[in-house]
Amino acid sequence: MEIKQMRRKDKEIVDIDEKIKIIDKCKVCRLAMADDNQPYVIPLNFGYFYENGILNLYFHGAHEGMKIDILKKNDKVCFEIDCNHALIEADEPAKYSFAFESIIGFGKITFLETNEEKSYGLDQIMKHQTGKDIKYQYPENQLKSVNVYKMEVVTFTGKRKPLPNS
């Protein structure tokens, strides 16, 4: 996948550790999909695992619904997360601005099938959302009733507009 260069290089975050810190701070991910020629985006809680240059995002939900129908037809997705929001006030309305940090990336979705895969994905979600690195026990009936899927991220970029004097 060819990604265009970021227009505002002054806001680009190139350091991978800085990008991972942003991912770690943000708790909601917007997952964008395409159904034929119709876009669809949904906010989701998520977990992640990053190692050796590979980023995987983990999500969970029901076995059916619009999101699942789209993902089964087209596994190519885009994600966006953002945090550290703050209004930057000014003397004139046109000079107001907004501080933020964001990550945008592209990849593909894989549905996790085995109880071991699902447990791993759910553990990554719990770790990210709670800050606790625990291997949880999930009853088999719960694993059967939940759909767990991962996004294998192909590429991602970071962008930041800090508050003035920060």
What is d(CA 53, CA 10) in angstroms, rounded to the nearest whole number? 24
Looking at residue 5, its pLDDT comes to 63
Does some domain include residue 136? yes
**CATH code of 97's domain:** 2.30.110.10
Does some domain include residue 2? no
- Structurally, the chain folds into a number of domains equal to 1
Please list the pLDDT of the chain residue by residue as tens digits (166 residues).
555 665 666 668 989 999 999 999 999 999 999 999 999 999 999 999 999 999 999 999 999 999 999 999 999 999 999 999 999 999 999 999 999 999 999 999 999 999 999 999 999 999 999 999 999 999 999 999 999 999 999 999 999 998 887 6
Does some domain include residue 4? no
What is d(CA 96, CA 90) in angstroms, rounded to the nearest whole number? 5
Does some domain include residue 1? no
Domain of residue 103, residue span:
9-160
Does some domain include residue 51? yes
Does some domain include residue 25? yes
Looking at residue 12, its pLDDT comes to 83
Task: Give the ranges where 8-164 is alpha helix by DSSP (H).
Answer: 16-25, 66-73, 115-130, 140-145
* Cα-Cα-Cα-Cα dihedral sign, residues 7, 18, 55, 52: positive
Quote the pTM value. Answer: 0.91
Does some domain include residue 84? yes
> What is the three-class DSSP state of 155?
strand
Does some domain include residue 103? yes
